Amino acid sequence: MREYQVCSNCVMDTTDTQIVFDEHGVCDHCHDFNDHVLPNWHPDAVGEREFQAVADKIKLEGQGKPFDCILGMSGGLDSSYLLHLAVKKYGLRPLVFHVDGGWNSDIAVSNIQMLVDGLGMDLYTEVINWEEMKDLQLAFFKSGVPHLDIPQDHAFVATLYHFANKHKIKYILNGGNVSTECVRNPLDWLYYGTDLRQIRDIHGRFGKRKLKTFPFSGILFHKFYLRYIKGVRVVKPLDYMPYSKKIAIDTLASTYGWRAYPQKHFESRFTRFYEGYWLPTRFGMDTRRVQFSSLILTKQMTREEALEELRKPAHNPATIDEEFDYIATKLDISSDELRDCMNLPKKSYRDYKNQRVLFNLGAAILKKLGVERAIKR
Ligand SMILES: [Zn+2]
């Protein structure tokens, strides 16, 4: 067993089993950020000029069309703030697209509504077939892997891409950003959400019903076909400007009455349960380490503050039993059946068919081209 170690600069530790430390105890996430991300990241006047040019192009190409781009709205901080900026600051006319996977928290529903109303926009919502979503989620529980959030993640991404393709929308605004996400979740924690081979293998073994309408999108469809054949471009505006989590929350709160979530991705009740309780309790994987490390590297949090937060559990112990019952009831199983899944042998993505080789190859090419900087490993 490897001896426990935590990075001397961020809060990533040996619960990330592939982590590597240098002689000063600094981890490879920190080095990757300093060597590859930071030199290519311009959240300043240079970046803003660059994005202004992109925004002008989007507007020009969108003239006469009902929308000039599409924005996937989860209700989370990044997509909410992005919508605010896109409309108010850059005068873009995005189609606001929400995928309802069945797990929206009440706060998320009200946040989306307040934002859309405040901006005088319409919301386009696509609802995932609940019986199919449930079946796929249960299959992932039964498979024993840590990456239980793939059905939701995949549904959101695939629905958006298919919609953009069908309606010939050329620009996808994406809230992904270096500022709060520069450290990536290790592959052993959250495996690639678009590995169709893995999804089909797990569902084939543990699923009970056919997925007739569930949206699928393979890496070749959206990373190659859409990008290079159809010319659909994914733009991440938050990387071109100073983006601070605190300022974003304050701005949205004071302008729209938007309310912050206790943790990133907690707009979904499933993710709140999964990242707040299931993943840390069953696997010892605490995604707050990744989130806080990102904020430390971009100077929005100190290491001491992060360590202090990490001493508290990511879930609320007073309500976790209720939460357990809620998740089980929604999935149509008993709380005992759900608890049984908690005790299944622990598996990883390697225990099922996967396309990791293809993903690694794609990542290496994108890194060479300078499209992607940070490693996911
Ligand atoms: Zn580090």
Average pLDDT over residues 50-71: 97
Distance 179 CA to ligand 1 centre (A): 15
Distance 41 CA to ligand 1 centre (A): 18
Token output for 244: 């601070």
Residue 74 pLDDT exceeds 90 = yes
Residue 17 pLDDT exceeds 90 = yes
Distance 27 CA to ligand 1 centre (A): 4
With CA atoms as reference, report the closest residue to 104 among 262, 250, 265, 280. 265
Distance 22 CA to ligand 1 centre (A): 10
Residue 375 pLDDT exceeds 70 = no
Distance 146 CA to ligand 1 centre (A): 23
Distance 76 CA to ligand 1 centre (A): 26
Distance 296 CA to ligand 1 centre (A): 9
Which pLDDT belongs to residue 62?
96
Q: How many CB atoms lie within 10 A of CB 47?
A: 17
Distance 331 CA to ligand 1 centre (A): 37
Average pLDDT score, the chain:
95
Distance 7 CA to ligand 1 centre (A): 5
Distance 12 CA to ligand 1 centre (A): 6
Distance 32 CA to ligand 1 centre (A): 9
- Where do the H-state alpha helices sit in 62-105? 77-84
Distance 363 CA to ligand 1 centre (A): 22
Residue 28 pLDDT exceeds 90 = yes
At 284-320, the pLDDT tens digits run 999 999 999 999 999 999 999 999 999 999 999 999 9
pLDDT band for position 361 (cuts 50, 70, 90): confident
Distance 312 CA to ligand 1 centre (A): 21
- Where do the H-state alpha helices sit in 167-286? 178-181, 196-206, 219, 245-256, 269-273
Residue 8 pLDDT exceeds 70 = yes
Rounded Cα distance between 152 and 149, Å, is 6
Distance 26 CA to ligand 1 centre (A): 5
Which pLDDT belongs to residue 220?
84
29's torsion region: left (phi>0), alpha (psi -120 to 50) or beta? alpha
Distance 321 CA to ligand 1 centre (A): 34
Q: How many CB atoms lie within 10 A of CB 26?
A: 16
Average pLDDT over residues 338-363: 93
Rounded Cα distance between 237 and 40, Å, is 15
Which pLDDT belongs to residue 243?
96
Average pLDDT over residues 101-129: 96
Token output for 53: 């040019």
The residues, any chain, with a CB within 8 Å of residue 57's CB and separated by 6 or more, are none
The residues, any chain, with a CB within 8 Å of residue 148's CB and separated by 6 or more, are 137, 140, 141, 274, 278, 279
pLDDT band for position 179 (cuts 50, 70, 90): very high
DSSP state at residue 135 = H
Average pLDDT over residues 350-373: 85
In one-letter notation, the amino acid at residue 369 is L
At 221-258, the pLDDT tens digits run 888 888 888 899 999 999 999 999 999 999 999 999 99
Concatenate the DSSP letters of all residues of 29-59 into one string. HHHHIIIIIGGG---SHHHHHHHHHHHHHHH
Token output for 325: 């019952």
At 183-236, the pLDDT tens digits run 999 999 999 999 999 999 999 999 999 999 999 998 888 888 888 888 999 999
Residue 376 pLDDT exceeds 80 = no
pLDDT band for position 358 (cuts 50, 70, 90): confident
Distance 78 CA to ligand 1 centre (A): 23
Look at residue 334 and give its three-state secondary structure: coil
Distance 46 CA to ligand 1 centre (A): 28
CA distances in angstroms from 103 to 125, 152, 208, 264, 292, listed in the order given: 14, 9, 21, 15, 25
Distance 28 CA to ligand 1 centre (A): 6
